[in-house]
Amino acid sequence: MTENSEKDDFSTAEELEAKRAFTTGENFHARKLLGLHKLGNGQYRFRVWAPNAEKVWVVGDFNDWQVTDVMTCDGSCGIWEATLSTPKPGDLYKFRIQQKGGNVIDKFDPFSVKFEKRPNNAAEIYTLQEKKWKDGLWHARKKRSNYFRRPLNIYEVHSSSWRHHDDGTPYSFSDLKETLIPYVKEMGYTHIEFMPLMEHPLGASWGYQLTGYFALSASYGTPEEFQDFVEACHLQNIGVLLDWVPGHFSVNNDALAYYDGTPQFEYTDPDRAKNIRWGSLNFDLGKPQVQSFLISSLLFWLETFHVDGIRVDAVSNMIYRDYDEGPWLPNHEGGNRNLEGYYFLQKLNAVVKKDYPEALMIAEESSSETQVTGLIETGALGFDFKWNMGWMNDVLRFYEMDPIHRKHHFELVTFSFMYMLNEHYILPLSHDEVVHGKKSLMHKMWGDRYKQFAQLRNLYTFMMTHPGKKLLFMGSEWGQFLEWKYDEGLEWVDLDDALNHAMQQFTRQLNQFYKDERALWELDDVWETLEVIDADNREESVLSFIRHGKRKTDFLIVILNMTPVERRGFTIGVPYKGTYREVFNTEMAEFGGTWQSHNPDCVSQPQAFKQYTETISTTVPALGVIILKPEKIKVTRKRTSGKGAGES
């Protein structure tokens, strides 16, 4: 954001154009028009969109919350306006609206960038100053990189429950700057993804029922603190992603809900407006002013805070009329697609990519009926990445299972190889999987405590070696046993335990291994990245495959043992004659396992195994994973074709 964006210095012609564009869904910087702006003469101008209101006043500390400051309406666009000289910085204010039908209610400013702390929600007289950013090198590097073929390993964070002070208060972003950033850097993650930071009235919603779409929640600190946090991340080569919720919003009466007494932000049809599943209201995504509002919100976070990308929450709710639990009607074509939501998301991604081509646009979407990632011109929604919910559900179901039954359900860990490039995927082990009685990732694992840690290491290694980008929720990196609690800090005391501490160090080394090994991300978006060695060994429940880099000699062999039985003399096919060295073993003592040393190097033998003419034999630890790398090989074999990803 430029320093002028907080000031209302429009010419008459510019103001008319800004209002016209807002009403046609083309004003993507609507916060420069609406909300609160300081004028050059020290006065403040207030503007609010309330097209069906009968009267509107500005009320606040500066007029004792009385209806003395009346706003006037531009009837052509439904925007009310007042210019006042009495407010001073720090004063609180709202808009008192006589809604259609005569009801009078105080509403918050939808375009405010700063509110008082919840449960109160008055906006603050506040001017966001221009920041002189120092992260130019970070952004220059982003422009030169292809994020589809770069490592992307995300640490998902709920900012107010990552860590608490001794008195129980959560860390602010000033605190997180000094603690979270060094921790993420030490642990080897490439990005932090925050659950919604925008203003919301109830902590129990985790931020997914928003009110202030342009405001950092006052509970988390000031906008300047968050700007400084993002800058500090970039100086440490860490990206920052934000969750954002454009599909539905809070039902609170003093917020967006039926703002002017009519369906203003929500659908006119009450069945479409009501979101039963989340107890919220759905945006009317076909209304031009709503499109201007939402797209302006997203661009505001990219511009003002230099964040590197946005994860759009609950996309399925936006693109399917029958996603919710209530009654629904087909669209005019007779189908279940919410055409307004579909075209809005295409428009959103097109606008973002025009101005910020390097910004990551990520979708949380659980169906397979709509192409989410890819070019809009081909009918896709235009996102860069999609959470792979199918992989997540399948693998967690598999790892929760008693190993004696896993041979009967082996497709749960192999089926994703068949569709791994249908979209550009992120493999998420997210906050949704460690709440509401689902148990923590550690607690989901089968067996006694030792076996649970062994399987957690196995699971994380499978995620890291499976094609796709990665995401892990905070606390899972050391195997926190308790479910996540949004109003408490993580169980850092766990790290006094030797196994939890070893698990944390395992995750750190696995993250670094992922970044170091180009074969795990260099060809992440092409079928040649994966070559299945053996996906048919159900009886022993051992899965083996190869991840390829660009060079023929740059590849890794991954062998996962899904049972508590050590496999000695275990034989698999290999692509080339030569020597293979074990470079990673999840059962090393330093990780909490029992192995004191790695397997000896494997020398291939001329023996047929499926499509291979050479084999190696080694020991695969119980519930463990080993990764081998070619040490000395003779490249005489033509690489398996792209069909290898689906072969068995």
Can you give the pLDDT at residue 644?
A: 46
Q: Is 377 exposed, middle or buried (0-12, 13-18, 19+ CB in 10 A)?
A: exposed
Six-digit token string for 42: 């020290």
Q: What is the mean pLDDT of residues 562-582?
A: 97
Per-position DSSP letters for 582-608, written without gaps between them: EEEETTBGGGTSSBSSPPPPEE-EEEE
- Any idea how long the chain is? 648
Residues 195/156, Cβ–Cβ less than 8 Å: yes
Contacts of 16 (CB under 8 A, 6+ apart): none
Residues 6 or more apart in contact with residue 335 via CB below 8 angstroms? none
Q: Check pLDDT > 60 for residue 648.
A: no
Instruction: Tell me which of 364, 494, 522, 587 is the catalytic residue.
Output: 364
In the structure, what pLDDT confidence band is assigned to residue 7 with cuts at 50, 70 and 90?
Answer: low
In the block, residue with structure tokens 């499978």: 462
Q: Are 222 and 268 in contact (CB under 8 A)?
A: no
CA contacts within 13 A on the Cβ side of 235: 11
On the question of pLDDT at 646 being above 60, the answer is no
Over residues 573-591, mean pLDDT? 97
Is 539 among the residues known to form the active site?
no
DSSP string, 233-256: HHHTT-EEEEEE--SEE---TTTT
pLDDT above 90: residue 2? no
What average pLDDT does this structure show over 338-358?
97
Confidence of residue 11 (pLDDT cuts 50, 70, 90): confident
Query: Is the pLDDT score of 636 beyond 90?
Result: no
Residue ranges with strand state E in 486-609: 530-534, 542-548, 555-561, 567-574, 577-585, 602-603, 605-609
DSSP code, position 565: S
Confidence of residue 12 (pLDDT cuts 50, 70, 90): confident
- Please choose, from the candidates 465, 599, 608, the residue with its C-alpha nearest in 3D space to the C-alpha of residue 531: 465
pLDDT at 634: 87
| Over residues 165-192, mean pLDDT | 96
Span 478-506, pLDDT tens digits: 999 999 999 999 999 999 999 999 999 99
Whole-number Å distance between alpha carbons of 518 and 524: 10
SS (H, E, C) 390-449: HHHHHHHHHHCCCHHHHHHHCHHHHCHHHHCCCCCEEEEECHHHCCCCCCCHHHHCCCCH
Q: Which two tokens stand for residue 351?
A: 């606008």
At 639 the pLDDT is 44
* pLDDT tops 50 at residue 181: yes
d(CA 464, CA 31): 41
Predicted TM-score (pTM) of this structure: 0.95
Fold assignment, 388-648: Immunoglobulin-like (2.60.40)
pLDDT score for 8 = 58
Name the helix (H) or strand (E) containing 281: strand 280-282
Residues 403, 407, 413, 416: what is their CA dihedral angle, to the nearest 10 degrees? -160
Query: Taking Cα atoms as reference points, which of 162, 138, 22 lies closest to residue 474?
Result: 162
Q: Name 464's Cβ contacts closer than 8 Å, sequence gap at least 6.
A: 470, 510, 511, 513, 514, 520
Strand locations in 68-211 (E): 69-70, 72-74, 79-84, 92-98, 104-107, 123-124, 153-157, 191-194, 198-199
Amino acid at 206: W
Topology classification of domain 3-124: Immunoglobulin-like (2.60.40)
Catalytic-residue membership of 74: no
* 505-543 pLDDT per residue, tens: 999 999 999 999 999 999 999 999 999 999 999 999 999
d(CA 503, CA 53): 58
Residue 225's nearest CA partner among 143, 137, 128 is: 128
List pLDDT tens digits, range 301-346.
999 999 999 999 999 999 999 999 889 999 999 999 999 999 999 9
Gap between the Cα atoms of 456 and 433, Å rounded:
14
Structural domain spans, the chain = 3-124, 388-648
Q: Does position 173 have pLDDT exceeding 80, yes or no? A: yes
H or E stretch covering 360:
strand 360-363
State whether residue 207 is helix, strand or coil: coil
Find the largest Cα–Cα distance for the chain.
92
Q: What is the pLDDT of residue 641?
A: 42
> Is residue 375 a contact partner of residue 411, using CB atoms and an 8 Å limit?
no
User: pLDDT at position 640, please?
Assistant: 44
Separation between Cα atoms, residue 378 and residue 372, nearest integer Å? 11
Q: Which two tokens stand for residue 492?
A: 């850092």
Out of 175, 199, 313, 340, which one is annotated catalytic? 313
Q: What pLDDT was estimated at residue 494?
A: 97
Residues 291-330 as b or e (16 or more Cβ within 10 Å = b):
bbbbbbbbbbbbbbbbbbbbbbbbbbbbbbbebbeeebee
For residue 166, the tally of other CB atoms under 10 A from its CB is 5
On average, the pLDDT of the chain sits at 95
Pull the structure tokens for residue 96: 């008192």
- Choose among 289, 323, 312: nearest CA to 208: 312
Strands 153-157 and 469-473: parallel
Angle at 366 between CA 361 and CA 367, to 5 degrees: 110
The 10s digit of each residue's pLDDT in 237-258 is 999 999 999 999 999 999 999 9
Percent of the chain with pLDDT over 90: 92
Nearest to 392 by CA among 437, 360, 438, 359: 438
- Residues 547, 550, 551, 554, CA torsion sign: negative
Domains 3-124 and 388-648 share a fold: yes
Name which of 364-368, 383-387, 567-571 the model is least confident about: 364-368
pLDDT over threshold 50, residue 5: no
